[in-house]
Structure formats: structure tokens, C-alpha cells
């Protein structure tokens, strides 16, 4: 009984519906700061756990190799966060032994001789309960292997441990209480049940196929961490409009087009300065010369507003010491960059160098000084020593002197440009404020200083055995040590923010040092700034505030390639406001607001600044949604707005109200005739004809199968279907024909289709929500367009209590204060919608061939399908391919069996290919986790509205994947799935005698057809279910019926025989038993059938009900024939 109770609990846990949505990290330019993108659980708490780190360094371009990527799970106390789980550290040195709680069950009762199945293959059987001795005896097994027979006394605890790397790890434990031994009811209650799983990771261990594990102190807190890097020679590239799976799919990178709306307010202005790094605008000043002086030495009267994602070196007054200078004999190798501050003096720099002469060629050292604008104001070249050959004989020391008088006070950039064959022996400068910009190659031992007012990332690497050393970093409050014990491998550390520079002690030199902060020869060389007023350029700056700002510093372009990490989870999406200066927006948190990677422009933000009393009042909470007006677009979507996470078309807007309709379909698609396109909410578009000669296309529009309109449009023309919404005639569907292409056999048209919802929402000025917030229709950012702003009403308040979420914005978001001072903004997890939101990623191409072809190969990277070969039975000159990987099946097509691996929707032009050959990999771990074998993989595809199944062929193995291939006709919507041999799909439908006999015939005549005749591969014999037992039962059934019929039709029965049967009544007893068996089987079959209908797969995955049905038919037939016999014989 209790075993069944446990099964019921586990079943409930399985059938509780959950919805998965994307959680993400903040966006970044693909070239942001030329340094990198590093986030932790603080930056994206719903994406990473608190002690996880993801780092992508773009300083070497968008092709990322082992030196420019790492993931780390860092240790704190005796716990470590690793790939989404928190583990207990049993041991960590050269090998890490981790354990995690797999199952912590409720109390359960187990009876004598009863076996309980537990997770991870464990079973526990109670073999004896002794009331007198007060103990119970058990047998613990795993995968049918006995691990430990043991006895335990009442209220005693049991613990089963295993040894990993010499460390004993508790795997299974419980406490036995309440031994019951009375009235033949023997049972014991188990409490505090715990099942753990151990994971062993080794330094240098391969992970998946592209990664390697390093056990190192990545954050320099003295504890070993788990760091995952790319293997040497393995790379990935951040390319536009693509998705890259990292760490075997744990995290993905999505790349697209990001639109920075902060530049909209300056659309009619001319920048004072524009370069690759930033633009500078001003409403109050228009003299570039004045600007240069201001940047070099601004007074406290000036106010600057700097946008996020801007690389800007800053400005301020530097306190200098005229009697001090910079002088160092620490040898440096190769190219370096410096910054120097000049104040009423001549810039003076003396550099001595010599050549190693290890490589062929000239070894010059070019020294140049740059203004902040990039203009060179002074330079000098120290020439080669005259030895161009690779003699490996060091050259003579040469010295060059650069002096640049007459410079305005300010910061100047100095570049020492050379190759690694040049050694800088000495550097002297009259300037005491001189720092190195983030990279140094130090040859000789000595001290360096690193300083910044923010958290510092440092890394070290040596090229030679001689450079292996222990490095000490001394801070004001704490010292750090790390050992560089492997050459050609970066060692990383993160230092907390400090107002004092850190002292780096290098006992040997021959080391590369890199950081996101500045280096210097002494702690007095750093710039001590008296800052002018700098305010962030956020959305909450009003037009009146703008006029008080002297200079705006913004990114150089409105649209740039951006990327962000994401993963699917059933948890809520949330971000920490306190980590983003109390303001979140579309770029910092794309998971909270609407963001489209195709560059469709939208912007939302939320700013919350609670007072000390943790009570939000008016102006302490501001939500903003900005309107975008595309003056070049003549479609109904020329005015759009993202509002509470959805993109809307603006039907009407003025200072009193906004009428919005949600955009349901907005994309370009190439179609041919007879193509049906679903536009959502029952509206569909059917292409009728494409006439290249007349440059026209004709199509019909339907709603729920009923014709709405017949439209004809010409090439480069637009047609609309309109309906009245809110007393306005609105283009519900708008179609533009961009081009028409004539093919050899058929033609195609490229259409831009816009579809808005036929229901509108109205937001009125001063509308209020239940939480006391009110909407305003106003121009937030001063671009002349009305936007939507939501704040609290004058007398409304929201109390923020620790640990209690509070709904805001009508329940769209929730706020929650935590004990550690964090303020989390979360978004409820909602199911993915149909249409574009159901597309995980899509791949497409259009090809035109100079000579017609019949075979077209397609290769796709970073997806579950790697190869397509499309074979046509006709010549093809124009070809279009679109593969969509879907997040889930459309709701109307979800009657499918098995475990879905991935879902695709394939569109081809021309349609009706002969055969499509597909190769795809499936992870072995995916199969193992679901109890499937390699032979259980199938392709399911829709055929005439029903799912059909095709068995692929296993063609090989590649590391941790099994490679399959299959030949299909044009499948449209299809899935890769795991289909166990007990699945209902193998049963082949209604269980009737004629159907079963027909299945036997089909099974005998199965023929797998190859690509030559274009047929789909049939299911293997395994996919027909457990047919062999059915065949045996059928045979026995026929034999029994034949014997009974022959016996019943015998004309000669002796009186003696009849009297004997009557006397012993054996025949009657046998028939009575048969009748009861038949009724019992019918009852069992009906219960199982009802259970299977309620919960698909709960019975069919364990038992083939065909056998029970056949037994019912046999016993029922025997009963009917027996009745005839009994009546005839007078029994």
C-alpha cells in the first residue's frame, strides 16, 4: 500500500504542469569597451546562481578562443555553485568531490517483504521486523545490485556511504521509527530520508567535446574554484543574427541588432565630436575648441551626462607634484599604452630599448602622443639596431627622447608601438601622473601597482618555465597570493573595489599582466580627480533637465550588433535593481521587457528609488514606455510602442489617451502559389496565383475557414484588409509585395506581412491601477512623441516588506526586498505564445543557380540538425529554405507520443521535393536520462493531420553523441523524439482481431524504401509493439476455439461419460472459473483504459494492454462456446 502511495506522490510530481520561459543576462555591444563581458549571479540572478561567473572577452575580436572565455563556479564556505546547482564540497584539490541532494522525501511506511523504489535506481526492501528486539532488517540495492543488508533499531539512524578519491560521501540515509508488529500488520516508518549524488571532477578533465575543467582560484579568495574553458584550438564566433550554445546548452548566446534610443533626442543635432568610441552633443555650447579644453580640465560648474555602453576615459582636475617624476628600470617587452596628465608643463618622455634579434626584420619603437580626439601631437621613432637577421644576439641599448611643449592641461594618450623583439630597458618622464592602460609584458622582477575605484579583474600568464612563480598582491586590508604553476595558461583574480591601489609583487618577472584597471610604477602615479558633475543619461531625464546639462556623451551609432546570454527555466525572471543603479531597462534586463533581436525598436524602463522607510510614494517609482515613429515606413506599424512587455501598434495617441493594438505578426516571408500562412487568431492567408508577367500576386484571406477578402497587389505595392476598431477603420492585415521571382517550374514572391490584433486597448491619461499607480500620456524623452509613463498617485504608497513580493504595474511585475539589501524585480513565468514567440531560432537562405540542379546540400551549425540534402525530381534554378526550431508544439498539434528532443518547421521552395535526407545527432546522456536506447529514436511528422513515425538509421557515433540519418518527403512540422517500445504508438490503434491480423500482415511485408523512390522509411518491427506475445496468444486462442467447437459438435456421447461429468462437476467448475476470470479481466482492462485516458503513458509505458484485451476475447469466446456445449449435452 505504502509503495503505491509513494508511486502516487511521484506521479503527482510528474504531472503537475510547468511552463518554461527564457531568463537572460544584460545586453552588450559585440564590441563593448573592447574588453569583455563578465556577469555573475548579481548581474543576472535568474540566469546564474550567486557564485557563478560567465566571462567573454572581446578584446581579440568576435572569434572567442580559450584565452577569451571562461565559466566559473566559485566556492564559498563548504558550498560551490556549478552549472545551475549548489553542491556540498566533500573535497577539492587536484580533484573535486561534490555531492548534491537529489531527493529529500516525506516520511513513508514500509511493510515487511515490501520493496520501495527510490530515485537514481535505489531500492529498499524490508525483510524482517522484530517487535521483541525492536529492530528491522533491510536490503539496500542499486540497479538490482545489493549494496548493503543491514539491521537498524527503532529510532536508530542508517547511513550508507561510498568512497570517492579517498573521501567517504554519505549517499543514502534515514531514521527508523514506529516499528509496528501487531494484528499481522508489520511495518516501520522511515523519516529524514536523504539521497545524494556524488560528482567527481579532475583538473584537466575534458567536458563535453569543446571544454576542459581547471581547478583554480579564479577569484583569489584562497579557495579552489571550478573553471571551464574552451580547449586549445576550439573557438566560437559571435556573429549577427545567430545563436550559440555554450556548455552543452546550459547557457546560450543570442546575437542580434540592438537599437539605442538614447540617440533619438539628438536626431536633429550635429555632434561636436564623433568617433568610433562616442559622440558628444550639447544644447548650450557649439565650439569644439572650447570642448577640448573642457575635457582636459573641466570646472565644477560643468555637468556631463554619459550614456551606458560608452567607452570614455573621463575628465577632471588632477593634483600633480611638479618636483616628482616617473622613472623605472623594470624591463618591458613589446607594445604598451600609457596615459599621462599634463599641467602647465611640457610632456617629456625618454625611452631606452634594445633588440633581442630573435626574429627576422626591423625592430623599431614608435612613440606617439594623442589628443583625446585622436589627433597625434608628437612622435619619435627609435630605429632598428641594424641587425635584421635572427642572430639571437642582443643589440646595443638605444635611447629616444620625445618632448611636446605647449599642451593644454589634460590627459594624453601615449602609444609605444613595436613587436615582441623589442625590450624597453628604462622609461623616464617628467610627469608624475603616468599609468599603463590595462596590459603589460614585464620581463624583470619588481613591484607594480593597480588601481581603480571599482572591482578589479586581473590575470597573469607566462610563456616560459622560468616565469613560474608565486605572486603576492598587497591591499590596504587584505593580502592575496596565487601560484602561477603552468605556462601558457592564464591565472585570474578579482579584487574588491578599494580607494587605495594594490601592490603586485613579481619575484621573477617574465610575465604578462592584464586588467580592466590601470597599472603604475608607484602608488602616487594614479590620477586623483576632483570630479565635475556627471549624471547618467537615463530615460528619466526630462527636457527641462536636459537644458541644464552642458555635454552629452553617447554611443556612436543607433543600431549595433549586440548579444546577451539566456537559458530556459521554469523559475521566474528577476533582476536586482540595486545592482543597476535602481533603474532597469530593455538592455539591462531583456527578460523583463520586450526586446526583438531583429532590431525592431522598442524601449521600456523602470526606475525605483525607495526612501529609508521602505515605502514607495509618488516619483519614487517610474515606469516608462517610449513611442517610436518610423517616418520611412508607410505601413500601419510606422508608430509602435512596447508596453508592459508586449509590442503594440499605435492606432491613435494624443495627450488624453492612447489606443493600441497588439502586433501579432510582423515578418518577411517568401512564398509560392497555394501556400497557406497562419497569421494568428484563426486568420490565415492563402496564395492563389503569382503572375510574374503582370508583376502581380493574388491571395485570399480567411477567418476560421470563412473567406474575408480577395486581394490583388503588384510588385512593390501594398494591399490591406481593414476592419473597424474603436470607431476607426484599421488595416488589420497589411501586405507589401517586395519582389516576384520567376522560376523554371514555379514562381515566388517576397512578402512583408503585418498583422495586428482585432481588439484594441485604451490607456487614458490619469488611468489608475489597483496598486495606486497612474498612467500619464506625455513626452518622456523630449523627442516630440507622446509616451506612456506610470507613477504612483499623489497620496498612494507601496510598502516594501522583506520577504514579501508586492505586485506593481497592475501585476505585471513584482518587487521584493531581501535581507541583504537587494531589491528584486521579478516577472511571472508565463507560457510561450504561438507565432513568433514560439520560434526558438530560425535558419534561412535563398539561392539562385546559374545552371539548374536537382540536389541541394544545406549545412547548419549550432542546431540539433547538422545536414540536409534536398533531392528534387525536376530541375531547380531558384531555391528557398527556412527551418524554424520551435520551443514547443502548436497547441492544436500536441497529440504526440514519446519524449520530444526537438521540434522543427521546414518550409521549402519549390515545394514537393522528391526526398529530403537529414542527418542529426542525439546526446547519449539525453537518452540515458529518459531510459531510452539508441534504437528508440524516431522522427514524427504530420501527415494529413495525424502524426506518423519514421525510424532513422544509426550511422555512427561522435564523442558523446549518436548520429542518425533519415529520408523523408517534405515533412513540414516534424519532431525528433524518443519513443520507447511500450509506447501507445507502437500498438497500432484499435485492438480488434481484424486490425491485429492486418498488423501481422503489415509487419511481414515491411520494406524500408531508400531515397531512390522517395518514400518514407517505415517503422521497424520494434515499433509495432510487443507483437510476438500477441501472435502466440492468437495461435493458442485459435487452437482452443477449434478444440471446443469440434468437441461440441460430436454426435456420440456415451451416457457413462455424461454421468461421469455430472457426478464430478469438474466441467461446471472449470467453466465457472473461466467466466469469473473473463469478468475480472474486463474490469482490469477498463480501469487501465480509464487511467491511460486520464494520464497518457502512465500504463502504456509499463504494460501492453493488447494482451489483456486478447485474454478477454479468448475467455469470453470459451464461455460462449462452452454454454452451447453444456446446453447440447444437458449439463
717: domain CATH number?
2.60.98.40
pLDDT for residue 11 is more than 70: no
Choice between 336 and 1061, residue whose per-residue pLDDT is larger: 336
Same domain, 306 and 409: no
Helix axes 1027-1048, 1105-1129, angle to 10 degrees: 0
Residue 43, SS3 per DSSP: coil
E-strand ranges in 508-618 read: 511-520, 529-530, 533-536, 551-554, 559-569, 573-576, 583-585, 604-608, 615-616
Same-domain pairing of 388 and 509:
yes
Return the ∠ at Cα 272 (arms to 436 and 31), rounded to 5°.
Answer: 50
- State percent of the chain over pLDDT 90: 14
Q: Cell triple for residue 148?
A: 548493503
Sequential DSSP letters for 565-590: EEEEESSPEEEEGGGGTTEEETTT-T
For residue 1044, pLDDT over 70 is answered with no
Q: Is residue 604 part of a domain?
A: yes
Q: Say whether 1030 sits in a helix, a strand or coil.
A: helix
**Alpha-carbon 879 to chain mean position:** 32
Could you tell me the CATH number of the domain that includes residue 624?
2.60.40.4190
Position with higher pLDDT, 1 vs 667? 667
Residue 1028, pLDDT above cutoff 60: no
State the Cα–Cα distance between residues 654 and 787, nearest whole angstrom. Answer: 9
Are both 150 and 30 inside the same structural domain? no
Among 28, 586, 527, CA closest to 309: 28
In this prediction, residue 891 carries a pLDDT of: 56
CA distances in angstroms from 347 to 526, 530, 597, listed in the order given: 17, 22, 47
Residue 17 pLDDT level (bands cut at 50, 70, 90): very low
State the DSSP string of 295-344: HHS--TT-EEEE-SS-------EE---TT--EEE---EES-EEEEEEESS
Does residue 246 fall inside a structural domain? yes
Cβ(646)–Cβ(810) below 8 Å: no
The distance in angstroms from the start CA to the end CA of the chain is 43
Same domain, 625 and 693: no
Angstrom distance (rounded) from CA 1128 to CA 1131 = 8
The 10s digit of each residue's pLDDT in 711-754 is 899 988 888 888 887 677 778 888 889 888 887 777 888 888 88
How high is the pLDDT of residue 140? Answer: 93
Q: Residue 1037 has what pLDDT?
A: 60
Residue 1111 DSSP SS3? helix
For residue 1015, being part of any structural domain is answered with no
* Lowest model confidence (mean pLDDT) among 166-170, 322-326, 874-878: 322-326
* Bridge partners for 742 per DSSP: 747
d(CA 480, CA 503): 10
Give yes or no for residue 998 having a pLDDT over 50: no
Gap between the Cα atoms of 701 and 686, Å rounded: 6
pLDDT greater than 70 at residue 1076: yes
Lowest mean pLDDT among 11-25, 678-692, 698-712, 837-851: 11-25
Q: What is the pLDDT of residues 908-958, one digit of tens each?
A: 877 778 888 888 888 887 787 677 888 888 888 877 777 888 888 888 888
pLDDT in tens, 610-633: 776 778 888 788 999 998 887 766
Q: Give yes or no for residue 503 having a pLDDT over 90.
A: yes
> What does the pLDDT look like over 127-139, one tens digit per residue?
988 877 888 899 9
Instruction: Report, as an integer, the average pLDDT of 686-700.
Output: 88
Question: Could you tell me which of 49, 7, 61 has the C-alpha nearest to residue 25?
Answer: 49
Classify residue 741: in a domain, yes or no. no
Query: So what's the pLDDT on residue 936?
Result: 86
pLDDT band for position 1114 (50/70/90)?
A: confident
Asked if residue 714 belongs to a domain, the reply is yes
Same domain, 473 and 349: yes
3-class SS at 1085?
helix
The sign of the dihedral angle between the CA atoms of 468, 61, 562, 868 is negative
Q: For residue 842, what pLDDT band results from cuts at 50, 70 and 90?
A: low
**Mean pLDDT rounded to a whole number for the chain:** 78
Structural domain of residue 1082, as residue ranges? Answer: 1027-1129
Identify the pLDDT of residue 80: 92
- Residues 524-545 pLDDT 10s: 888 654 456 677 676 556 667 7
Binned at pLDDT 50, 70 and 90, residue 820 comes out as: low
Tell me which of 756, 791, 818 is where a domain ends: 756
Among the residue ranges 97-111, 345-359, 436-450, the one predicted with the least confidence is: 97-111
Nearest CA among 439, 395, 444 for reference residue 416: 439
Kindly state whether residues 517 and 414 are assigned to the same domain. yes
CA atoms within 13 A on the CB side of 534: 14
Nearest-angstrom CA–CA distance, 640 and 601? 8
What is the pTM (predicted TM-score) of this model?
Answer: 0.57
Are the C-beta atoms of 974 and 1011 separated by less than 8 Å?
no
Indicate the pLDDT class of residue 598, thresholds 50, 70 and 90. Answer: confident
CB 737 within 8 A of CB 714: yes
Is 663 within 8 Å of 756 (Cβ atoms)? yes
If asked whether residues 865 and 950 sit together in one domain, one would say yes
| Rounded Cα gap, residues 1002 and 975, in angstroms | 24
Name residue, grid cell 517550374: 745
Stronger pLDDT, 26 or 1102, i.e. the higher one? 26
Together in a domain, 24 and 137: no
**In the predicted structure, residue 645 carries a pLDDT above the cut 80:** yes
Mean pLDDT of 14-19: 31
| Long-range CB pairs of 846-850, under 8 A, 24+ apart, other chains included | 846/670, 846/878, 846/879, 846/880, 846/881, 847/878, 847/879, 847/880, 847/881, 848/877, 848/878, 848/879, 849/876, 849/877, 849/878, 849/879
d(CA 537, CA 545): 11
The pLDDT, as a whole number, for residue 1047 is 55
3-state secondary structure of 405: coil
Is residue 885 scored above 90 in pLDDT? no
Mean pLDDT highest for which of 177-181, 854-858, 1011-1015?
Answer: 854-858
Check pLDDT > 50 for residue 114. Answer: yes
Residues 196 and 123: beta-carbon distance below 8 Å = no
Last residue of a domain, one of 257, 274, 302: 257
Residue 404: pLDDT over 60: yes
CA dihedral 773, 774, 780, 785 (to 10 degrees): 140
Mean pLDDT score, 203-216? 90
CA distances from 437 to 62, 68, 335, 434, 967 (A): 21, 18, 11, 10, 58
- Average pLDDT of the segment spanning 884-890: 75
In this prediction, residue 669 carries a pLDDT of: 84
Crossing angle of the two packed helices 1055-1064 and 1066-1094, in degrees rounded to 10? 60
Q: What is the mean pLDDT of residues 850-855?
A: 77
Which residues in 373-421 belong to E strands, given as ranges? 376-382, 398-404, 410-417
Q: What does residue 519 show for φ and ψ, rounded to 5 degrees? A: -105, 155
Q: How far apart are CA 564 and CA 25, in angstroms?
A: 6
Segment 77-90 mean pLDDT: 90
Tell me: do 507 and 390 sit in the same domain: yes
Are both 853 and 945 inside the same structural domain?
yes
The answer to whether residue 76 sits within a structural domain is yes
Coil, helix or strand at residue 847: strand
pLDDT: is 997 or 606 the higher one? 606
- 1070-to-856, 1118, 1122 alpha-carbon distances in Å: 69, 11, 10
For the residues 847-853, what does the mean pLDDT come to?
70
Strand partners, 151: 137
- Give the confidence band of 1121 by pLDDT, cuts at 50, 70, 90: confident
Q: Domain tally for the chain?
A: 8
Beta-carbon count within 10 A of 687 CB: 19
Instruction: Answer whether the bond into residue 910 is a cis peptide, omega within 30°.
Output: yes
Asked which of 201, 221, 243 is the last residue of a domain, the reply is 201
Mean pLDDT of 1052-1071: 57
| 972 and 1078 housed in the same domain | no
Where is average pLDDT lowest: 8-17, 659-668, 768-777, 789-798? 8-17
Give a yes or no: residue 1087 inside a domain.
yes
Mean pLDDT calculated for residue range 1003-1009: 38
Give the separation between CA 57 and CA 62, rounded to whole angstroms: 9
Same-domain status, 854 and 816: no
- Supply the CATH number for residue 39's domain: 2.60.40
Is residue 1097 over pLDDT 60?
no
**Radius of gyration from C-alpha coordinates of the chain:** 37
CA angle 485, 490, 492 (to 5 degrees): 100
In degrees rounded to 5, what are phi and psi of residue 443?
A: -95, -40
Q: Specify if 1020 maps to a domain.
A: no
Look at residue 988 and tell me whether its pLDDT is greater than 50.
Answer: no
- Name the phi and psi angles at 637, rounded to 5: -95, 25
Please tell me which of 16-30, 680-694, 1039-1053 the model is most confident about, judged by mean pLDDT: 680-694
Q: Do 214 and 203 meet the contact criterion of CB atoms below 8 Å apart? A: yes
Amino acid at each position: 500500500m505504502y509503495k503505491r502511495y509513494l508511486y502516487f506522490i511521484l506521479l503527482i510530481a510528474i504531472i503537475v504542469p510547468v511552463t518554461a520561459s527564457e531568463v537572460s543576462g544584460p545586453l552588450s555591444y559585440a564590441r563593448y569597451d573592447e574588453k569583455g563581458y563578465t556577469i555573475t549571479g548579481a548581474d543576472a540572478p535568474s540566469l546564474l546562481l550567486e557564485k557563478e561567473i560567465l566571462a567573454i572577452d572581446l578584446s581579440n575580436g568576435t572569434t572567442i578562443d580559450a584565452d577569451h572565455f571562461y565559466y566559473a563556479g566559485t566556492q564559498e564556505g563548504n558550498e560551490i555553485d556549478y552549472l545551475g546547482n549548489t553542491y556540498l564540497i566533500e573535497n577539492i584539490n587536484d580533484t573535486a568531490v561534490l555531492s548534491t541532494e537529489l531527493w529529500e522525501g516525506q516520511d513513508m511506511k514500509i511493510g515487511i517483504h515490501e520493496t520501495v523504489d527510490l530515485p537514481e535506481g535505489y531500492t529498499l526492501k524490508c525483510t524482517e521486523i522484530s517487535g521483541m528486539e525492536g529492530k528491522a532488517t533491510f536490503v539496500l540495492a542499486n540497479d538490482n545490485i545489493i549494496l548493503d543488508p543491514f539491521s537498524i533499531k527503532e529510532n536508530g539512524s542508517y547511513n550508507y556511504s561510498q568512497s570517492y578519491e579517498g573521501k567517504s560521501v554519505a549517499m543514502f540515509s534515514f531514521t527508523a521509527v514506529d516499528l509496528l508488529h501487531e494484528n499481522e500488520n508489520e511495518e516501520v516508518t522511515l523519516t529524514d530520508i536523504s539521497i545524494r549524488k556524488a560528482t567527481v571532477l579532475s583538473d584537466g578533465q575534458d567536458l563535453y567535446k569543446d571544454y576542459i575543467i581547471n581547478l583554480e582560484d579564479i577569484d583569489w579568495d584562497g579557495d579552489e574554484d571550478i573553471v571551464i574553458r574552451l580547449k586549445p584550438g576550439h573557438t566560437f564566433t559571435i556573429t549577427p543574427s545567430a545563436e550559440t550554445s555554450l556548455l552543452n546548452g546550459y547557457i546560450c548566446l543570442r546575437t542580434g541588432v540592438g537599437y539605442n534610443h538614447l540617440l533619438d533626442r539628438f536626431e536633429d543635432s550635429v555632434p561636436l565630436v564623433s568617433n568610433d568610441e562616442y559622440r558628444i552633443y550639447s544644447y548650450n555650447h557649439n565650439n569644439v575648441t572650447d570642448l577640448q579644453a573642457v575635457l582636459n580640465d573641466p570646472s565644477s560648474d560643468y555637468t556631463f551626462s554619459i550614456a551606458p555602453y560608452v567607452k570614455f576615459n573621463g575628465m577632471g582636475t588632477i593634483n600633480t607634484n611638479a618636483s616628482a617624476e616617473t622613472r623605472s628600470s623594470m624591463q618591458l617587452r613589446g607594445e604598451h599604452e600609457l596615459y599621462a596628465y599634463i599641467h602647465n608643463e611640457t610632456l617629456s618622455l625618454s625611452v631606452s630599448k634594445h633588440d633581442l634579434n630573435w626574429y627576422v626584420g626591423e625592430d623599431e619603437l614608435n612613440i606617439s602622443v594623442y589628443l583625446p580626439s585622436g589627433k597625434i601631437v608628437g612622435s619619435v621613432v627609435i630605429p632598428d639596431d641594424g641587425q635584421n637577421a635572427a642572430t639571437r644576439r642582443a643589440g646595443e641599448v638605444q635611447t629616444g627622447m620625445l618632448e611636446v611643449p605647449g599642451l593644454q592641461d589634460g590627459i594624453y594618450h601615449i602609444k609605444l608601438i613595436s613587436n615582441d623583439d623589442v625590450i624597453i630597458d628604462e622609461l623616464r618622464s617628467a610627469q608624475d601622473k603616468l599609468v599603463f592602460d590595462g596590459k603589460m609584458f614585464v620581463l624583470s622582477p619588481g613591484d607594480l601597482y593597480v588601481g581603480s575605484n571599482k572591482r578589479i579583474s586581473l590575470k597573469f600568464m607566462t610563456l616560459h618555465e622560468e616565469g613560474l612563480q608565486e605572486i603576492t598582491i598587497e591591499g590596504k586590508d587584505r593580502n592575496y597570493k596565487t601560484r602561477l604553476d603552468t605556462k601558457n595558461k592564464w591565472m585570474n583574480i578579482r579584487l574588491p573595489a578599494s580607494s587605495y591601489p594594490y601592490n603586485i609583487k613579481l619575484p621573477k618577472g617574465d610575465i604578462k599582466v592584464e586588467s580592466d584597471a590601470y597599472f603604475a610604477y608607484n602608488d602616487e602615479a594614479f590620477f586623483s580627480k576632483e570630479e565635475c558633475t556627471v549624471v547618467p543619461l537615463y530615460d528619466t531625464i526630462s527636457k527641462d533637465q536636459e537644458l541644464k546639462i552642458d555635454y552629452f556623451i553617447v554611443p556612436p551609432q543607433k543600431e549595433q550588433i549586440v548579444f546577451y546570454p539566456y537559458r530556459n527555466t521554469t523559475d521566474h525572471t528577476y533582476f536586482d535593481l540595486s545592482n543597476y543603479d535602481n533603474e532597469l531597462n530593455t538592455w539591462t534586463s531583456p527578460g523583463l521587457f520586450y526586446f526583438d533581436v531583429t532590431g525592431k525598436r522598442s524601449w521600456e524602463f523602470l526606475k525605483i528609488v525607495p526612501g529609508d522607510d521602505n515605502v514607495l510614494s509618488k516619483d519614487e517609482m517610474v515606469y516608462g514606455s517610449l513611442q517610436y515613429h518610423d517616418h520611412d515606413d508607410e505601413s500601419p506599424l510606422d508608430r509602435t510602442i512596447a508596453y508592459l512587455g508586449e509590442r503594440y501598434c499605435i492606432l491613435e495617441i494624443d495627450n488624453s489617451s492612447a489606443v493600441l493594438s497588439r502586433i501579432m505578426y510582423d515578418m518577411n516571408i517568401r512564398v509560392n502559389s497555394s501556400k497557406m500562412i497562419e497569421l494568428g487568431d484563426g486568420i490565415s492567408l492563402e496564395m492563389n496565383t503569382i503572375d510574374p508577367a503582370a508583376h502581380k500576386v493574388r491571395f485570399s484571406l480567411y477567418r476560421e475557414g470563412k473567406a474575408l477578402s480577395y486581394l490583388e497587389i503588384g510588385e512593390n505595392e501594398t494591399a490591406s484588409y481593414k476592419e473597424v476598431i474603436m470607431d476607426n477603420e484599421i488595416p488589420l492585415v497589411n501586405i507589401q509585395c517586395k519582389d516576384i521571382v520567376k522560376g523554371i517550374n514555379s514562381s515566388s514572391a517576397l512578402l512583408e506581412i503585418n498583422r495586428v490584433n482585432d481588439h484594441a486597448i485604451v490607456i487614458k491619461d490619469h488611468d489608475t491601477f489597483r496598486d495606486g499607480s497612474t498612467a500619464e500620456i506625455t513626452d518622456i524623452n523630449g523627442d516630440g512623441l507622446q509616451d506612456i509613463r506610470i507613477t504612483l498617485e499623489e497620496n498612494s504608497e507601496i510598502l516594501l516588506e522583506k520577504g514579501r513580493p508586492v505586485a506593481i504595474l497592475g501585476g505585471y511585475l513584482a518587487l521584493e526586498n531581501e535581507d541583504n539589501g537587494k531589491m528584486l524585480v521579478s516577472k511571472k513565468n508565463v507560457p510561450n505564445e504561438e507565432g513568433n514567440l514560439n520560434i526558438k531560432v530560425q535558419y534561412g537562405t535563398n539561392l539562385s543557380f546559374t545552371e539548374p540542379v536537382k540536389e541541394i546540400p544545406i549545412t547548419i551549425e549550432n542546431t540539433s540538425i547538422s545536414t540536409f540534402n534536398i533531392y528534387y525530381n525536376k530541375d531547380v534554378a531558384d531555391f528557398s529554405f527556412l527551418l524554424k526550431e520551435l520551443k514547443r508544439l502548436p497547441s492544436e498539434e500536441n497529440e504526440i507520443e514519446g519524449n520530444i528532443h526537438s521540434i522543427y518547421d521546414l518550409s521549402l521552395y519549390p515545394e514537393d521535393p522528391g526526398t529530403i535526407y537529414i542527418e542529426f545527432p542525439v546526446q547519449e546522456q539525453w537518452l540515458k536520462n529518459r531510459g531510452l536506447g539508441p534504437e528508440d529514436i524516431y522522427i514524427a511528422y504530420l501527415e494529413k493531420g495525424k502524426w506518423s513515425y519514421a525510424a532513422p538509421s544509426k550511422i555512427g557515433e561522435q564523442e558523446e553523441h549518436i548520429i542518425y540519418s533519415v529520408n523523408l518527403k517534405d515533412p513540414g512540422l516534424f519532431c525528433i523524439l524518443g519513443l520507447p517500445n511500450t509506447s501507445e504508438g507502437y500498438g497500432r490503434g484499435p485492438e480488434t482481431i481484424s486490425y491485429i491480423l492486418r498488423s501481422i500482415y503489415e509487419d511481414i511485408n515491411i520494406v524500408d524504401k531508400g531515397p531512390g523512390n522517395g518514400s518514407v522509411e517505415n517503422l521497424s518491427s520494434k515499433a509495432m509493439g510487443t507483437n510476438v506475445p500477441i501472435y502466440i496468444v492468437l495461435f493458442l486462442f485459435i487452437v482452443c476455439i477449434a478444440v471446443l467447437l469440434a468437441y461440441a459438435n460430436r454426435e456420440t456421447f456415451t451416457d457413462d461419460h455424461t454421468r461421469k461429468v455430472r457426478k464430478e462437476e469438474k466441467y461446471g467448475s472449470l467453466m465457472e472459473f473461466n467466466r469469473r476470470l473473463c469478468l475480472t479481466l474486463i474490469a482490469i482492462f477498463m480501469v487501465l483504459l480509464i487511467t491511460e485516458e486520464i494520464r497518457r503513458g502512465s500504463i502504456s509505458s509499463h504494460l501492453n494492454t493488447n494482451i489483456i484485451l486478447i485474454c478477454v476475447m479468448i475467455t469470453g469466446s470459451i464461455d460462449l462456446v462452452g454454454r452451447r456445449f453444456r446446453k447440447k449435452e444437458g449439463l
